[in-house]
Amino acid sequence: MSVSELHKFIFEGEPVRGMLVRLTESWQQVLARRAQGGTAYAPPVRALLGEMAAAGVLMQANIKFNGALVLQMHGNGPVRLAVAEVQPNLAFRVTANVVGPVADEARLEAMLNVDGKGRCAITLDPVDRLPGQQPYQGVVSLHDDRRQPLQELGDVLEHYMLQSEQLDTRLLLAADDRIATGLLIQRLPLAGEGNLGGAGPRDEDEIGRNEAYNRIAHLAATLTREEMLELDADTILRRLFWQERLLRFEPLVDAAGPHFACSCSRERVAGMLRSLGREEVDGIVAEQGRVEIACEFCGAQYHFDPVDVGGLFKPGRDQPPGSQALN
């Protein structure tokens, strides 16, 4: 089984960079866990989550930011919510809330945008977020500028990046049950290029005009979904850019590369139960004998018997002394 990998590259002398991600064994692991739990997603939902995972890794690797990058698709079709979360170390996890049957040929509109109100939220949640501080969030609709519904996640995210970063971006995504993969080509921002007087030409003025970017993005767009799913990274990059001066960095693999990992823990589940309140949790124990919670991302099971539950609500836990008196 091939290993998941992230390839970064630049085009010598041109203001263009690129990345290619291939999630293989890590992606298969995600699907296998879900299937073992007896709740496998429909094929179009699997493909969407795979594309979201690949896109999330590319976007996380593209920014300098110490925190989680979370992609969320909200909609009102059979898929209510799809989530991909990627940590700065490229650990990713995904989940979806599916409430109805999803047809085999369903795409974004049929899954998430039947009422035209589907949207995609991109959240950057800093590790060192202060209490009360809101994470940064950007939201885009699932429509193009002429209000036509978009069917490809890549198109939605290109739109987001143009809006949020003012940078031309080409993002191609594909996923099946073996691999989730993505290719990102982006124009680099103009940073004081050849000008001594501080602020240079605004990036907005460059949008769509940079000749090298346009040529390279056009080459990238010739890559088919089938090629993305079938060909290895070397073959893809050679085939697309053999006439370009491509400089490749050492690929990120194994622990340094994209990998599946879930951040759930018994402590976090306990914290969630505490926030529900004693009455609510005692009610569940009275009804079911104990509390059983499965992680929606990785399927891990957490059990709390009546003794565990009693321990959760021992006086003094998670409560500074005297705080009662202040209320």
Phi-psi category of 240—alpha, beta or left, where left has phi over 0 and alpha has psi -120 to 50? Answer: alpha
Least separation in angstroms between residue 106's CB and Zn ion is 27
The answer to the question of residue 297 lying near Zn ion (CB under 5 A) is yes
The answer to the question of residue 19 lying near Zn ion (CB under 5 A) is no
The answer to the question of residue 298 lying near Zn ion (CB under 5 A) is yes
Q: Is 50 exposed, middle or buried (0-12, 13-18, 19+ CB in 10 A)?
A: buried
Phi-psi category of 121—alpha, beta or left, where left has phi over 0 and alpha has psi -120 to 50? Answer: beta
The answer to the question of residue 68 lying near Zn ion (CB under 5 A) is no
* Binding-site member from 55, 233, 262, 291 for Zn ion (CB under 5 A): 262
- Residue at 106: amino acid letter: A
Least separation in angstroms between residue 265's CB and Zn ion is 8
Dist. CA 260–CA 26, nearest whole Å: 5
Contacts with 276 (C-beta within 8 Å, 6 or more apart), sequence order: none
Dist. CA 218–CA 127, nearest whole Å: 37
Cβ–Cβ under 8 Å, residues 20 and 143: no
Least separation in angstroms between residue 120's CB and Zn ion is 23
Nearer to Zn ion, 241 or 302 (CB): 302
Least separation in angstroms between residue 297's CB and Zn ion is 4
Q: Which stretch binds Zn ion (CB under 5 A): 40-48, 198-206, 228-236, 262-270?
A: 262-270
Nearer to Zn ion, 15 or 37 (CB): 37
Nearer to Zn ion, 81 or 246 (CB): 81
Least separation in angstroms between residue 7's CB and Zn ion is 28
Q: Is 21 exposed, middle or buried (0-12, 13-18, 19+ CB in 10 A)?
A: buried
Q: Which stretch binds Zn ion (CB under 5 A): 16-24, 78-86, 142-150, 287-295?
A: 287-295
Nearer to Zn ion, 174 or 298 (CB): 298
Dist. CA 262–CA 9, nearest whole Å: 29
Nearer to Zn ion, 62 or 95 (CB): 95
Cβ–Cβ under 8 Å, residues 94 and 86: no
The answer to the question of residue 295 lying near Zn ion (CB under 5 A) is yes
The answer to the question of residue 264 lying near Zn ion (CB under 5 A) is yes
Q: Which stretch binds Zn ion (CB under 5 A): 151-159, 200-208, 259-267, 312-320?
A: 259-267
Least separation in angstroms between residue 93's CB and Zn ion is 7
Dist. CA 224–CA 46, nearest whole Å: 19
- In this structure, what DSSP letter does residue 12 have? T
Distance of CA 215 to the CA centre of its chain: 28
Interface residues with Zn ion (CB under 5 A) are: 262, 264, 295, 297-298, 300
